[in-house]
Amino acid sequence: MEFASASVSVKYHDIFGYKLTKEEAIKWQYKNQKITIIGIKNKLRLQREKYSQKKLKIAKKASELISKIPTVLFVGITGSLAMMNADKNSDIDLMIITKKNTLWVTRIMVYLVLRIMNYELRNPNTKKEKDKLCMNLWLDEQDLIWDKRDRNIYTAHEIAQIIPLVNKNNIYEKFLYLNRWILNYWPKAVKIRGYLEKMMSPDSSLLSSFLHILNIVCFKLQHLYMKPKMTREIVAPTHAIFHPNNWGEVVIKKLSK
Any domain includes 157 = yes
pLDDT tens digits along 190-228: 999 887 776 555 566 788 889 999 999 999 999 999 888
Instruction: Output the CA torsion sign for 180, 186, 188, 190.
Output: negative
Any domain includes 14 = no
Any domain includes 251 = no
pLDDT, position 145: 98
How far from chain centre, in Å, is Cα 177? Answer: 16
Any domain includes 43 = no
Any domain includes 173 = yes
Domain that holds residue 64: 53-245
Can you tell me the distance from the alpha carbon of 176 to that of 29, in angstroms, rounded to the nearest whole number? Answer: 18
Contact 67, 97 (CB under 8 A): no
Contact 68, 47 (CB under 8 A): no
Q: What percent of the chain has pLDDT over 70?
A: 93
Average pLDDT over residues 8-17: 93
Any domain includes 74 = yes
Any domain includes 153 = yes
Q: Residue 200 is part of a domain; what is its CATH number?
A: 3.30.460.10
Average pLDDT over residues 9-34: 90
Domain count, the chain: 1
pLDDT, position 94: 98
